[in-house]
Amino acid sequence: MKRTWPISTVADAARARITVARVAAAHGVPPLERTRLSAALGVRLRQCLTKGGGWRFTVTAARGSLRVEVCASPADGETPWVVTAPCPEPAPAPVGDAVAGDPTALAEALLGADEDTALVLERLAEQEELVAFHREELHQTNQGVLALHAELDAAGRAQREAFAAEREARREAEDARRRLTFLADASAALTASLNHEEIVRRLPELLVPEYARTVDVWLFDAEDERGRAPSVPRPAAAVIAARTGRPQYAAADPGGLPGVQDQPPSALHPGRPLLCVPLPTRRAPLGVLTLTPPGERWDPDEAVMLVELTRRAGGALDNARRFEHNRDIAETLQRALLTDLPDTSGLRLAARYLPATYGLNIGGDWYDAFRQPDGSLITVIGDVTGHGLHAAVMMSQLRTALRAYAVDGGSPGELLTRLHMFLHHLQPDLYATAVIARFKPGEPVLTWAAAGHPPPVLRGPDGTVRTLDAKPGAMLGIPLHQEIADHTVPLEPGSTLALYTDGLVERRAQGIDPGIDRLAAALGALRPEELDEDLDGSAERILEPMLSDSERDDDVCLLLCHIDSRVGHRPGTRPRDRS
């Protein structure tokens, strides 16, 4: 369907607008689209009438679309105005032009347009309500988003704070672990030594430069006791620490260190903070440790660690001094109990005693040499089980008893048998081992006996070495009745007898036999002239390879008995004049 009308007046324009509305309604154009179409057409027709001239209006309905075209008449090259609207359904009958002069039709058309407008306004009100609803919904959503952003921001801030707190906690835990590790390692290093000078030397090595820039150790001595003025200038805080036994901190500003008292800056070191910590013992401080910080000042936790380390260092120094005092007493006692070897013509003696490299350096090892009434020379070496003063006292009693028994005469086996009975009755829970060798004037024979002791080693004049391993008696003091037998061996000029304790030859990982073999090899390697002219030096040359392999964990005794190699010389006789 296509219709065309000329438009030159307002009435033409009104009829055209009414016709379009009817055609659109007939073809099922929706009211909203129909109203939009009519309104747009009315605006365009008013524009055309304002311009003046003739205009042509065309309506075409076909293929589901309603097309309205307005163009100038005649056409003067101006582009036509075109608007379209969808037509869901075709018109049931052609729509005629029934409004040419009928007021009723015009009124109906006007009222119909109002109905469409009302419908549009109703739809518009619905849309406005919908827009208002969505606007409120959007506003609520925006508020929720803002609240969510605020919560997320707060959560992020809390998470960052938690991460920062965790990092700080980890750093503090790592610092604490580092300090505890250092404290444990430093304590082990300080307590590993029993030499107070070594401990004093190690303190600066441990603390500088990580925990202190400088370290000064002030130890009190007999002339510089606690409470007296020091013999050399000391910081006032160090003197106060010595007198009060409490740590002091000297600086221009308070240190705020736990358990440490603040003092004014030191006159000796006004520009540096000082931490003065006493070295405590069970009774009173034995010194003061004065530190300067590696930086501006100490962290409180580091100060606590330094005070604790100083406390442990004080204990280590106290233990070392006690040990050194007891060691000096023990060594003095041990030396007093060892015998000066007799000067015997034709028989040279050399002895060496070496205490263990740790402990109180006092034990039950001993050697002795003395004459019997008949002129025989008795040489003995023995070892009382255990260490310490008790073993040394028991060793002294055995040595005294042996000398007393020897006055009545008796062979080495008889003397050992009497010693066995003496020790068994005197100290039932204490045991000993011993070897006794007798050199009798005018007799080229060595008589010896052993009780649980390593066998003697005899070197011949030609350098051959043999172990005197004839069956020995059992240990002295065991609950067993025994008669210890004597053994004899020929003795030629130039022969050397070595008596020793197990500390010389026994090693835990190897036993005793390899050590005896090494001793025999060292003795056999000596030249005859060395033994004749320098028996003491020969003893040293034997000990050197024997003790260089490991740290000694037992005392060592060595007694060398050497027969002069000059022809015809015998123990107890004067050598012939070679001239």
- 275 falls in which pLDDT band (50, 70, 90)? very high
Can you tell me the mean pLDDT for 311-330?
85
pLDDT of residue 16: 83
- 441 falls in which pLDDT band (50, 70, 90)? confident
* SS3 per-residue string spanning 88-102: CCCCCCCCCCCCCCC
Q: What amino acid occupies position 231?
A: S
User: Of 175-189, 462-476, 553-567, which gets the smallest average pLDDT?
Assistant: 553-567
The pLDDT tens digits for 141-176 are 899 899 999 999 999 999 999 999 999 999 989 989
Mean of the per-residue pLDDT values of the chain: 85
Can you tell me the mean pLDDT for 85-107?
63
344: tokens are 């015997």
Which residue has better confidence, 558 or 16?
A: 558
- 401 falls in which pLDDT band (50, 70, 90)? very high
Can you tell me the mean pLDDT for 489-510?
90
Can you tell me the mean pLDDT for 166-189?
91
- 576 falls in which pLDDT band (50, 70, 90)? very low
Domains in the chain, CATH or no CATH each: 2-101 (no CATH), 196-325 (3.30.450.40), 338-563 (3.60.40.10)
pLDDT of residue 569: 45
463: Cβ contacts below 8 Å, ≥ 6 apart:
524, 528
363: tokens are 């034990």
The C-alpha atoms of residue 469 and residue 449 are separated, in whole angstroms, by: 10
C-beta of residue 477 within 8 angstroms of C-beta of residue 428: yes
Can you tell me the mean pLDDT for 376-403?
85
Q: Please list the residues that pair with 352 across neighbouring strands.
A: 558
Could you tell me where the DSSP H helices lie in 192-211?
Answer: 196-207
The HSE-up count of residue 270 (CA atoms within 13 Å, CB side) is: 1
